[in-house]
Structure 1
Amino acid sequence: MDFGRVLTAMVTPFDSMGRLDLKKTEKLVTHLIDNGSEGLVLGGTTGESPTLTHDEKLQLFEYVVGLVDQEISVIGGAGYNDTSASAEFTKAAANTGLDGIMLVTPYYNKPNPAGLYYHFSTIARETTLPIMLYNIPGRSVINMPVDTTVELSKIDNIVSIKDASGDLHMMSDIIEQTSDDFSLYSGEDHLTLPSLAIGSHGVVSVASHIIGNQMQEMTQAYLEGEVTKAASLHRKWLPTMRACFMAPSPAPVKAALNYQGIDVGSVRGPLVDLSLEEFNQLKTILDT
């Protein structure tokens, strides 16, 4: 399953009361399609998944699937730290027309490798949709071992992994030890180009909200053998990539979108909006 090269981990737009705003969502999705996104990942970290209810996620999935009308791929985050709850929600999410499911490593309860295999394989049996694993030790505490990922990749509908470990050695081992039809996506914007160099398929990006076409240009330059150009673009846009994480995500990227006229509202607590000092720093980077 090829979800595309540049996927956007989409923010969830809220209205002034903090409720899911589908009108703002439509404008955001149009903006992302027009600016280089080949796929959208909904209800993930950047989408503030811990604060979204089941009903909000399902409503968001179904609405965006209808909006894009198969023009780009749509993946829905369905992972929880409860295997049974994840399996049940995955079945419900599959009915919204998604192209794939993303499942995060269980957070807080810290399963061992056997527990990780049990968790993901159990959920995989409950759907025929392609599954993207999501390894993000900075938020879930555990770092899924390479061996576990390799074993999971042998399950027919587990087709991909978003790796936000930041560990290029581990990413290299996953790419080397899995079949050619299993894809690895960088979950870190600043590692998009380095990960392509070791064989990743692309990126699940936050910065693509702001520099989607530029991320696409850099990726295509590398794939077409224009390595020097790709490296130059990487260096040029690295400050913007960093700026998207100057405060707990997605507060910076939501502020950047709002500043650029794409109204996505605020973040939900316990996250807070950027301070005035942070916002001024962000504006300086965006303006230059």
Structure 2
Amino acid sequence: MNFGRVSTAMVTPFNHRGAIDFEQTTRLVNYLIENGSDSLVVGGTTGESPTLSNEEKVDLFKHVVKTAAGRVPVIAGTGSNNTSGSITLSKQAVEAGADAIMLVAPYYSKPSQEGLYQHFAAIADEVTVPIMIYNIPGRSAVNITPATILRLSQIENITAVKEASGSIDQMTDILAHAPDDFLVYSGDDGLTLPLLSIGGYGVVSVASHIAGNEMQKMIQAFEGNRLQEAAKLHQQLLPLIKALFAQPNPAPVKVALEDAGISCGGLRLPLLPLEEDEKTSLRMIVERFNQQVNQLK
């Protein structure tokens, strides 16, 4: 399965009571599909997965699958540091209609590289859908080394990795030795163009909530060998990307979505909404970005 070039790590809309707002979820899914998203990652960290119960996750998977209606692949975030629990949730996600699953490195437990391999291999053995591995040592406290990723790439249904190590050297090592059909995605919006330049495929993005079409244009410019255009788009996107991560994700992007007319509500503790000065700073950068986009039209 091809997840496309821009996969959006989707926020989870909540209502004023803090429950999942399925009506706004429908609006968000349609908005993202219409504005540059080739696939949707549901129930990941940007979707505040640590605060969602498994029942809520399954309900969310079902709703997004129904709303997407085959227009784009739906990737369910089913990873945790509990191998057995991840297997159960992965099976439930497949039953809910998810096209693929994303498995984050087991956090907090800090397993060995062999433990990481056995964890992912055990889950892959229980499902048939494609799997994207998610390496984010800054959050999980463990790095999946290139050697382990390469071992995992030999498993038939492990087809991609979301690399958020921040290490271009590590990504290069994977790309140099992985099978040709194994896809490497950037887990950092700001490293999308650098990753493309060394053979990467795309990005699992947060910024695509706001700039999905512009992310696509940058990738298309690169693929079309219009390198100066791609570089210019990267330069325009970078301040927006930094602003969206200036405070804990997804607080900034939920404010930006609200301003764009897509109400996604607040956040669940321990995350907090932005302070007014933080909102003002974010809005200035989003407005400046939108002005630059409009000038190019």
Do these two structures clear the TM 0.5 threshold for a shared fold by scoring above it? yes
Where do residues 1-288 of structure 1 align in structure 2 (5 Å cutoff)? 1-288=1-288
Alpha-carbon shift at residue 7 of structure 1 (Å): 0.7
Runs of 4 or more consecutive aligned structure 1 residues displaced over 4 Å after TM superposition: none
In 1: Cα distance, 2:37 partner to 2:89 partner: 26
CA distance in 1, matches of 2:119, 2:4: 26
Distance 1:174 1:195 in 2: 12
Q: Deviations over 1:203-225 (max 9, x none)?
A: 00000000010001001110111
Distance (whole Å) between structure 1 residues aligned to residue 259 and residue 67 of structure 2: 24
Write the distance in 1 (CA, Å) between the matches of 2:273 and 2:150.
39
CA distance in 2, matches of 1:260, 1:2: 29
| CA–CA separation in structure 1 for the residues paired with 2:176 and 2:48 | 32
Give the aligned residue type for 2:157: N
| CA distance in 2: counterparts of 1:28 and 1:35, whole angstroms | 10
**1:163-184 CA distance string (max 9 Å, x none):** 1111000001111110001000
Q: Once the 2 structures are TM-superposed, how far is the Cα of residue 143 of structure 1 from its aligned partner?
A: 0.8
Q: What is the CA-CA distance between 1:228 and the residue it aligns to?
A: 0.7
Once residues 192 and 269 of structure 1 are traced to their aligned partners in structure 2, the CA distance between those partners, rounded to angstroms, is: 30
Deviations 1:136-191 (A, max 9, x none): 01110111111000001100000000011110000011111100010000000000
State the AA in 1 paired with 2:77. Answer: G
Stretches of structure 2 lacking an aligned partner (at least 5 in a row): 289-297
- Letter of the 1:228 partner, please give it: Q
Displacement, 1:285?
A: 0.6
In 2, distance between residues paired with 1:175 and 1:52? Answer: 34
For residues 62-98 of structure 1, what are the alpha-carbon distances to aligned partners after superposition, in whole Å with 9 as ceiling and x for unaligned? Answer: 1111111111111000001011111111111110111
Q: Cα distance, 1:106 vs. partner?
A: 0.2
Q: Partner letter of residue 234 of structure 2? A: H
| SS of aligned partner of 2:179 | coil
How high is the TM-score relative to the length of structure 1? 0.99
- Give 2:186's aligned amino acid: S
* Structure 1 position 30, deviation (Å): 1.0
What percent of counterpart residues are identical? Answer: 52
Kindly state the Cα deviation for residue 24 of structure 1 after the two structures are TM-superposed: 0.4
Alignment length (residue pairs):
288
> 3-state SS of the aligned residue for 1:286?
helix
Counterpart-to-counterpart distance in 2, 1:172 and 1:99? 28
Structure 2 CA distance for aligned equivalents of residues 100 and 245 of structure 1: 27
Mapped to 1, the partners of 2:225 and 2:156 lie a distance apart of 32
TM-score, normalised with respect to structure 2: 0.96
* Structure 2 residue identity aligned to 1:23: E
What residue ranges of structure 1 are gaps of 5+ in the alignment? none
Counterpart secondary structure, 1:156: coil
What amino acid sits opposite 2:129 in the alignment? L
Distance 2:31 2:65 in 1: 15
CA distance in 1, matches of 2:53, 2:223: 39
Letter in 2 for 1:161: V
What amino acid sits opposite 1:165 in the alignment? Answer: S
**TM-aligned CA deviation for residue 260 of structure 1:** 1.7
